[in-house]
Structure formats: structure tokens, C-alpha cells
Chains A and B, each alone.
Chain A
Amino acid sequence: MGNRTPGATDRDGHTLSGSGGAALPFLVSVRWVFQTLVVIPGLLLLCAGCSRTSAHSVSLLGSTSIQPFAEMLAERYAKDFPGQFVEVQGGGSTAGLQAAESGLVNIGMCSRSLTAKESLVFTPILIARDGLALVVNPGNPVASLSIEQLRALFAGRVTNWNEVGGKNGPIRPITREEGSGTRESFVRLVMGEERISGRALTQESNGAVKELVKGDPAAIGYMSLGLVGQDLKAVAVEGNQPTALNVLAGRYHLVRPLLFVSKGTVHPAAQKFIDFVLSPVGQTLLATEGLVRVR
């Protein structure tokens, strides 16, 4: 044991064995003192920093489906109203509700309908509606699926693309994690009472689903219509293409609300941001990104 280099003993000595030399504890403690002296004031400074933020800034947290749109709105808002800041974080719809309830943020973002219990607590503001698009790899010839087929496919009852009009090959459904607003909307709109197969790959964000479908010819996933982009192919559901126009006309039925939620009265600064989102400028911005305007 005597031949260890000092560096190796520092790192591994604690966990491996108590056989460090007699001089070692002293060396370690000097480092501890140093770290304590540096780290604790650092943390205090950091805390002082965060408590100062709430004056002019509005904070949003929640659904990763709304997040990119909220970031875009926030950017425009900061440009149009200098001195105003909006902070946007992801985390998921349910996390957004929790954060709004605890007062951690001014506004929670939720990309599904509130449950009966939740609507007793929160005031929802509908900022836009969003189609739920079913996406496949651009190389996949399947162009249209029925709700019944989608259900069978995600429940794992149909496992080959040739059963739904595609090429011979396995189907790999991709789902979102338990508690995601997108998942809950999908379950409500498509699955009904049936359960999503345990074999479905689970990804924790729209971006991850997108990346996977882009690279895998056998994959099928679901995501916000506004996030589909150029790399994926959105399939028609019951013969209707998922477009904002079809959503507005009521022809495309996989639609969910995008909500800002708050508990009790909204902070004036946050109210100003909400007004901006609902203004023609904000609504047009959302519409150009593929969402369906509400005003």
C-alpha cells in the first residue's frame, strides 16, 4: 500500500480502505477548510442573487410542449417591452401545476385539460389549441391511420407495418413518460381505456421523440403539431391531415388545449405577459408556429 501516489490516495483512499498514512488526515482537512471558506460565501452570494429577481421578471414552468413557444413569446415580449423579463423552464405539465400551486413560479404551463380536482384549485387561461400529430419516419409509406389502428398499434396488438398498409417490418411505438401532458392527451384522445404497451420506447421530451423517429424507419411517435418540423412525416388520422386549418374547422380531432395556469390572483407583471400572449401579436406569433389561435 505504501507506493500510492498522493493523488490516487486522495480520491480513492476514503472509499477503499482506511489505511492512509498518519499525515493524510491533516492534508485533507486543510483542503476542507479551504473549500468551506470558498464554497459557503459563494452559496450565500448566490442566494442573495436569486431573491432579487422577482421585481420585473415573470417566471413560467411546465409542459415541454409549450416551452419552445413560450420561449419565443418571451423573447418577443422582452424586445417589445424593454425592461421586462420572462423566464421559461420545462419540467412537464404536472410539474408546472405543482410549481404554480406552491408559488414557485407565476404561471404554470399545462398541455392537457385540467382534471376536475385540479380545476378547483387553478384558474386556466387558454392560450392556444394544439393538434396532436402522429409522426413517422419520412421513409415510411404509411400516409393515413385510423384511431382504431393507432390504438391497436400503441397497445402492441399490431406489430407489423404491413398490417396497416406499410412495408413488412416491425412497428416501434414511442411514447412519452408517465405524467407528460402530451401522453395524457394522447391516452385520452386515442387510447381510451386501453393501456400503452410496456414494450413502447419511452422518451422524456418532444425533442428526444423527434430525434428517434428521424433516425428509425420503424418508429411511430406522437407530439405537438407545432413541433413536427421538416424532418418528420405527420400521418393523416381518419383521412384528415393534421394542419392548423383542419383543427380550426373541426375536422382533425386529436386536439388539446395549451393552458397557462395560476393559483389565485396573478401578479401584475405576469398578467401583462398573459395579455401580450392573448393579443393579436402574440396569437399571430403562435399561429405562424403551427398552433391554433384562440382569439
Chain B
Amino acid sequence: MKRDRVIGAILLVVAMSAISGLALITVFIFREGVPIILRVGAKQFFLSTDWEPSLGHFGILSMLVGSLVVTLGAAVIGVVFSLGLAIVLTQFSPPGLSSALKPVIELLAGIPSVVYGFVGVVTLVPLIRHWLGGPGLSVLAASIVLGVMILPTITSIAIDALQAVPRSYLEGSIALGATRWQTVTMVLLRAARSGLVAAVILGMGRAIGETMAVIMVAGNALDVPRSLLAPVRTLTSNIALEMGYASGEHRQALFATGVTLFVIITLFNVAALAVSRQRDGRGRVR
């Protein structure tokens, strides 16, 4: 019993130190970043596209738009392929195939992002430049690379959500004469809806936070993208590109960029949590 308590205490200390690390980071970036937002003015900071730190112009609108556009693009691509994969793996494929494919998809999550970026630059970017025009480094390239990167996240959560649908629902649907496909679209996807939405939101959270691969394929131009083929700079790339050099106000403005990102990602996670709570709640009533 005594040993249990000692181990418990040690674990508590370890757990708390991890959490206090998070708290420290939060306090630090807010303390560094918020003052400059107030000094520049929130309106100027968030709604101006003029980013020229050496002249004291700090407007992050083009990067804000850039991050959202790229994330949305990645979500579209990620959702199509991930949901397809999740449905096939849970409903249509022979067990042998699913057990072979699942580890492969999970392996995708283990590939370093710089490798995705490199493959993107070497193969995808020239293809886009040659067939679609523009510089190749573009919203489209970034969306595709990120879409592939978030595939394992969305797929594995979506599979969990689909598997959590009670078997009796599916059996009931089949018994009523529905085909397998009708069962999937009318019963399975609806029953698992909140879990799937949470999967997509978490995937988007990962996409918006990704940096290295995006720097390599997005072109990083400081302009609001006007087409899918235009280059774009995201919030994360802006921080990573300029952090090494920045000092003074410039550095604070990058922290403020980080604060913005932090808030967006927190919103994503809260949304995902809320959606999946809703699912749990319904489960209990059942």
C-alpha cells in the first residue's frame, strides 16, 4: 500500500511537470505576443495585409487567409480519401486486406514532414507548374501535401468512430431490405457522424500547425492568394521563416502570430472535443 502511494506521488509530480510545461509555454507566448497586438491595434494586426517588419508594418491578414485556405484544401482532400479508406476498411474489404492496409496507413504518420515537403517539391511542384501553370509552389501543392499528411489522423479516428456504431443498427438496416451501400450512407455514416466530424476537425488542427512541408511547397509569397495556383504564406511558415533573424518588435510580432495560431488550434480542439462529447452523451442515453 505504501509503495502504491509513493509511486502515485511520483507519477503525479511527473504528470504535473508535463502540464506545467504546457502552462509555461502558454503564458510565455501570450506575454510576448499580446502587447504588440495591443500596440499595433487588433484591427490593424488582423485585417491588414501589409507585413514589412523592417518598416514596422505588422499585418497578418494574408497569412491568416493563407493558413485557412490551405487547411481547408487539405481537409477536402483528406476527408475524401480518409472517409473512403475508413468505410472500405471497416465494411467492404476482406479482413486480410484491412489488417494489411491499416499498418501501412499508420506508417504514413511516422514519415517526417520534411520528407513530405521534399517529395512535394521534387515531384508535385514541377507537375503543377508544367500542367496547370503558375509557379508550381502553390495553395494546391500545399493542400495536397497536407491532405496526405493528415490522412492517417483522420482515417484512424474515423475507423474508431465507424466501429463504434452498434452492430444491431447495421443488422436492422439489412433486415429491412437496405443494400450494403444504403446501409453505409443512411445508417452507418449518420450514426457515426459526430465521431467523423471530430476526426476531420482534429485533422484540420494538425494541418494548420504543420510547418516544414508547407514552407517547402507553398512559395511563401506575402499576398492573399487569388487562385489555387498562387503561392501562399501560412502563419506557421511565417514564424519559422523569420524567427531565426527576428529581434525586438519583429520578434514580438512573430509571437503574436503564434498567439493567433494557438487560439485557432485551441478552437479546433475544443470543437472536436465538444462534438465527440455529444456522441458520448448520446451513447449514455442509449
- A residues within 8 Å of B by Cβ? 1, 3-4, 8, 11-12, 15-17, 19, 29, 32-33, 36, 91-95, 98, 172, 177-180, 195, 198-204, 208, 211-212, 215-216, 218-219
Interface members, chain B 195-236 (any A CB < 8 Å): 198, 202, 215-216, 219-223, 231, 233
Query: Is B131 part of the binding interface, using a Cβ–Cβ cutoff of 8 Å?
Result: no
Q: A8-B160, A199-B221 are in contact. Are A15 and B241 (CB under 8 A)?
A: no
A205 to chain B, nearest CB (A): 10
A36 to chain B, nearest CB (A): 6
Cα separation A19 to B62 with both chains bound (whole Å): 40
Whether the pair A15, B62 counts as a contact (CB closer than 8 A) is no
Whether the pair B245, A94 counts as a contact (CB closer than 8 A) is yes
Interface members, chain B 141-173 (any A CB < 8 Å): 156-157, 159-160, 163-164
Of chain B, the residue at the smallest CB distance from A62 is B244
Known: A177-B220, A178-B54, A199-B231. 8 other contacts (CB 8 A): A1-B164, A11-B156, A17-B277, A33-B14, A178-B245, A200-B222, A201-B221, A201-B231
Q: A33-B11, A95-B245, A211-B121 are in contact. Are A16 and B135 (CB under 8 A)?
A: no
Whether the pair A198, B121 counts as a contact (CB closer than 8 A) is no
Cα separation A179 to B246 with both chains bound (whole Å): 7
Report B-chain residues with C-beta under 8 Å of the C-beta of A212: 135, 137
Number of A-B contacts (CB under 8 A): 115
Query: Is B78 part of the binding interface, using a Cβ–Cβ cutoff of 8 Å?
Result: no
Report B-chain residues with C-beta under 8 Å of the C-beta of A3: 163-164
**B4-45 interface code vs A (CB 8 A; 1 in, 0 out):** 000100110011000000000000000000000000000000
Whether the pair B245, A179 counts as a contact (CB closer than 8 A) is yes
Whether the pair B215, A204 counts as a contact (CB closer than 8 A) is yes
**B66-88 interface code vs A (CB 8 A; 1 in, 0 out):** 00000000000000000000000
- 18 pairs of residues in contact across A and B, judged by CB atoms under 8 Å: A1-B164, A17-B273, A17-B276, A17-B280, A32-B11, A32-B14, A33-B11, A94-B245, A178-B54, A179-B242, A179-B246, A195-B52, A198-B51, A200-B221, A202-B219, A204-B241, A208-B216, A212-B137
Query: Is B283 part of the binding interface, using a Cβ–Cβ cutoff of 8 Å?
Result: yes
A206 to chain B, nearest CB (A): 14
Whether the pair B280, A98 counts as a contact (CB closer than 8 A) is no
Cα separation A149 to B125 with both chains bound (whole Å): 28
Whether the pair B283, A216 counts as a contact (CB closer than 8 A) is no
Of B10, B160, B233, the most chain A CB neighbours within 10 A belong to B160
Report B-chain residues with C-beta under 8 Å of the C-beta of A17: 273, 276-277, 279-280
In the A-B complex, the 3 residue pairs with the smallest Cβ-Cβ separation, listed nearest first, are: A179-B245, A202-B220, A94-B245
Whether the pair B280, A198 counts as a contact (CB closer than 8 A) is no
Report B-chain residues with C-beta under 8 Å of the C-beta of A32: 11, 14-15
Cα separation A217 to B55 with both chains bound (whole Å): 32
Whether the pair A201, B244 counts as a contact (CB closer than 8 A) is no
Whether the pair B221, A94 counts as a contact (CB closer than 8 A) is no
Whether the pair A216, B54 counts as a contact (CB closer than 8 A) is no
Report B-chain residues with C-beta under 8 Å of the C-beta of A180: 245
Whether the pair B121, A8 counts as a contact (CB closer than 8 A) is no
**B236-248 interface code vs A (CB 8 A; 1 in, 0 out):** 0000111011110
Of chain B, the residue at the smallest CB distance from A29 is B11
Query: Is B49 part of the binding interface, using a Cβ–Cβ cutoff of 8 Å?
Result: yes
Whether the pair A202, B129 counts as a contact (CB closer than 8 A) is no
Q: A8-B156, A179-B242 are in contact. Are A201 and B135 (CB under 8 A)?
A: yes
Report A-chain residues with C-beta under 8 Å of the C-beta of B7: 33
